[in-house]
């Protein structure tokens, strides 16, 4: 943090954030300067993302006062009411799967008040004076709602209630809506991994195929108690168990949990997704011979790495817009986690998804928008070349003119019909056992 004289450009260092060993500094906009010159600042310096108060004029005691602490994280600084001495923020204090809105008193930071309803996933923004909240929330049974609230969290008016009544577009499907269940398994290092599962109506004695969706990369959390969306329900309606698990390296679990991906992409997250697959195979309701794995972007990269690491574990894999060579991806993202390729080329060599292309023996559907300006198409073309050179069979569907998001009223239908046809081909339905 620099203090700069705008007239001369002369600067001085006010304070510095330093990463712990084998971890990175996460970018954050979660800070607020106060009128007295102090600063509310988000930091992971104690191992979890928390709020601190920096007081520049303190001499006899610490300039830093930790406002929040514990084995949970502040996910956002929402607002500050300086007159009342209140700081409003979102955090996982009560439930890592359901971030909520909280307020603390700067004069007594240990007194934290929850402002949102428990069990819902919340996000929020606030006016500059810290008087009015704009809240977005959802649950497993309610699509996102938006409302205006006062500084205490009391709802004043709906912006969008999104009521699931007879007029709602989801109304024809509501009777068949399936609620998810949640649980945990243990990773190899003892870490607790959260999973979410949504199932069809189960018939006694029948085993079901699994649509195993994943992302896996840093700064992302996929398992929450929020609205899963109509696509998840459509997949379940086709007779699949829908399953997700957040591997080590995912967001909102602290520095140590995240640091497992440092210089190690394509390793522990693949191992943890495998643990999820083995968990599924041990369930009496799962047909272990029909588990398909699906991911897009980092998740597409994960599909490739998962098929390479454990041939035969998955019945099929669907890889959308995968990174296959990390040197082709954005430096501001990649080098934060993998380091400088000029200094640690061995890290990049191990993380790429090209060298082991010949190890893929399970059915693979590769999908990519040919105008992708995020994960450029060369990632897929290089993988295609490697697999062809080693006589590895695979299927692909390319979308000319589409970028990283392949979607739309017709193209989205084409995309998912392609995926379902691939699954029907390689995981055909079985009669009830």
Query: Would you please indicate which residues are annotated as catalytic (active-site) residues?
Result: 297, 372, 404
SS3 for 209-249 is EEEEECCCCCCCCCCCCCCCCHHHHHHHHCCCEEEEECCCC
Nearest Cα neighbor of 98 from 301, 252, 246, 310 is 252
Contacts of 377 (CB under 8 A, 6+ apart): 368, 369, 370, 371
Q: Rounded to whole angstroms, how far apart are CA atoms 190 and 136? A: 34
Q: Which two tokens stand for residue 235?
A: 């997949």
CA-CA distance, 409 to 225, in Å (whole number)?
Answer: 28
Distances in Å between the alpha carbon of 420 and those of 103, 240, 309, 416? 46, 11, 24, 6
- The C-alpha R_g of the chain, in whole angstroms, comes to 24
Q: Determine the 3-state secondary structure of 63 from DSSP.
A: coil
Please enumerate in sequence order all residues whose Cβ is within 8 A of that of 116, keeping only pairs 6 or more positions apart, or say none.
100, 101, 122, 135, 137, 153
Q: State how far the Cα of 344 lies from the Cα of 350, in Å rounded to an integer.
A: 10
């Amino acid at each position: 943090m620099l203090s700069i004289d705008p007239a001369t450009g002369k600067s001085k260092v006010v304070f510095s954030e330093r990463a712990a060993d084998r971890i990175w500094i996460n970018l954050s906009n979660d800070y607020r300067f106060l009128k007295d010159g102090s600063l509310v600042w988000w930091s992971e310096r104690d191992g979890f993302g928390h709020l601190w108060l920096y007081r520049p004029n303190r001499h006899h005691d610490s300039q830093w006062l930790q406002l929040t602490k514990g084995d949970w994280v502040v996910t956002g600084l929402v607002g500050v009411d300086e007159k009342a001495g209140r700081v409003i923020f979102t955090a996982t204090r009560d439930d890592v799967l359901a971030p909520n809105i909280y307020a603390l008193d700067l004069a007594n930071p240990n007194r934290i008040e929850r402002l949102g309803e428990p069990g819902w996933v919340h996000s929020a923004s606030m006016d500059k004076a810290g008087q009015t909240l704009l809240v977005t929330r959802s649950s497993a049974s309610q699509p996102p709602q938006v409302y205006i609230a006062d500084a205490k969290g009391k709802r004043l008016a709906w912006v969008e209630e999104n009521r699931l009544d007879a007029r709602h577009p989801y109304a024809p499907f509501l009777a068949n809506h399936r609620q998810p269940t949640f649980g945990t398994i243990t990773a190899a290092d003892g870490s607790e991994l959260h999973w979410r599962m949504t199932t069809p109506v189960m018939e006694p004695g029948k085993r079901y195929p699994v649509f195993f969706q994943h992302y896996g990369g840093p700064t992302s959390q996929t398992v929450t108690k929020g609205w899963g969306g109509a696509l998840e329900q459509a997949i379940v309606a086709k007779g699949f168990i829908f399953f997700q698990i957040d591997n080590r390296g995912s967001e909102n679990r602290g520095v140590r949990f995240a640091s497992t991906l440092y210089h190690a992409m394509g390793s522990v997250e693949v191992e943890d997704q495998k643990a999820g697959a083995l968990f599924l195979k041990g369930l009496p309701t799962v047909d272990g011979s029909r588990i398909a794995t699906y991911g897009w972007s980092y998740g597409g990269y994960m599909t490739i790495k998962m098929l390479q690491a454990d041939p035969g574990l998955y019945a099929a894999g669907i890889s959308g817009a995968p990174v296959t060579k990390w040197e082709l991806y954005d430096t501001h993202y990649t080098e934060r986690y993998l380091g400088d390729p000029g200094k640690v080329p061995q890290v990049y060599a191990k993380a790429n998804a090209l060298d082991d292309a010949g190890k893929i023996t399970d059915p693979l559907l590769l999908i990519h928008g040919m105008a992708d300006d995020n994960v450029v198409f060369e990632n897929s073309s290089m993988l295609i070349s490697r697999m062809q050179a080693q006589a590895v069979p695979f299927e692909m569907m390319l979308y000319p003119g589409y970028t990283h998001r392949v979607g739309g009223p017709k193209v989205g239908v084409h995309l998912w019909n392609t995926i379902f046809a691939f699954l029907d081909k390689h995981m055909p339905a079985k009669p009830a056992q």
